[in-house]
């Protein structure tokens, strides 16, 4: 099992319910195919660096998951078929990125990180 991070930009015209159902749909798709969801982080509505499909904003969602390498192609096909998805990007996480994300979620300092003194 490899660790991955998926960033998806959904169209800004989605309602809150549609956005949550899309998240559940993809999380369910991952678990149905033998993967596991590590962390889900909805960023919400953000400005885009450049217009996509004549839209200047998008709803961002970052998902950290673990799965087999061949699963990403299945997930890519599902994302490309979905009209609500404007862009998506997969990133394979190495052990340092996984450790960094775990520390970031808990708020604990790293081994080599200095804690700010007041």
111 lies in some domain: no
- Strands lying side by side in the sheet with 85-93: 36-52, 55-67, 2-10, 85-93
Burial of residue 42 (CB within 10 Å: 0-12, 13-18, 19+) is middle
83 lies in some domain: yes
Q: What tens digit of pLDDT does each residue of 15-52 get?
A: 999 999 999 999 999 999 999 999 899 999 999 999 99
- Would the pLDDT of 5 be above 60? yes
29 lies in some domain: yes
31 lies in some domain: yes
Residue 102: give its domain's CATH number.
3.30.70.60
Q: Note down the domain range covering 46.
A: 2-106
116 lies in some domain: no
Give the number of domains in the chain.
Answer: 1
Q: What tens digit of pLDDT does each residue of 60-73 get?
A: 999 999 998 899 99
118 lies in some domain: no
117 lies in some domain: no
Q: Which residue has the higher pLDDT, 56 or 93?
A: 56
Q: What tens digit of pLDDT does each residue of 70-116 get?
A: 999 999 999 999 999 999 999 998 888 878 777 777 776 666 666 55
Which pLDDT score, from 0 to 100, does residue 79 have?
94
């Amino acid at each position: 099992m490899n660790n991955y991070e998926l960033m998806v930009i959904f169209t800004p015209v989605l309602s809150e319910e549609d956005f949550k159902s899309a998240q559940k749909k993809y999380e369910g798709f991952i678990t149905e195919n033998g993967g596991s969801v590590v962390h889900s982080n909805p960023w919400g509505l953000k400005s885009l660096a450049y217009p996509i499909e004549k839209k200047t904003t998008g709803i961002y969602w970052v998902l950290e998951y673990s799965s087999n390498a061949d699963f990403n192609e299945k997930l890519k096909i599902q994302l490309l078929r979905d009209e609500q998805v404007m862009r998506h990007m997969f990133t394979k996480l190495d052990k340092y990125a996984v450790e960094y994300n775990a520390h970031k979620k808990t708020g604990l300092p790293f081994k080599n990180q200095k804690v700010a003194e007041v």
